[in-house]
Amino acid sequence: MEIVTGTNRDTWNSFVAEAGGSFLQSWQWGEFKRHQGWRVLRLMACKGREPHGAMQVLMRVAPLAGAFFLRGGGTCAAAGRLERRRRAAPGVTG
């Protein structure tokens, strides 16, 4: 597994959507926050060229403190598969 920086909007959004990730992990949300003065760090865990996990970290430095946010949690492929199974068969837990 290799950790890489997410640099492609379409790849990022496709993975987040397929894995059942939050809108707060979408590329657009990060860009919205960037325009409000936040730094955005997008990280993907990849095996070969296939993403298996992603997280978008928002960072902001204030005069007396800094802040790091991981809104909406990270996203992983296994969680997306589980969420699709739950939608297909209510009551399935694993």
Q: What is the CATH number of the domain that holds 41?
A: 3.40.630.30
The secondary structure element, H or E, covering residue 81 is helix 77-88
In a domain, 9, yes or no: yes
Range of the domain at 63: 2-88
Per-residue pLDDT averaged across 58-75, rounded?
Answer: 68
Instruction: Tally the domains of the chain.
Output: 1
Amino acid code (one letter) for 61: V
Determine, yes or no, domain membership for 13. yes
pLDDT of residue 69: 57
The C-alpha atoms of residue 29 and residue 62 are separated, in whole angstroms, by 21
**Looking at residues 6-18, what average pLDDT do you find?**
92
Q: 47-62 pLDDT, tens per residue? A: 888 888 888 988 887 7
Q: What is the pLDDT of residue 13?
A: 94
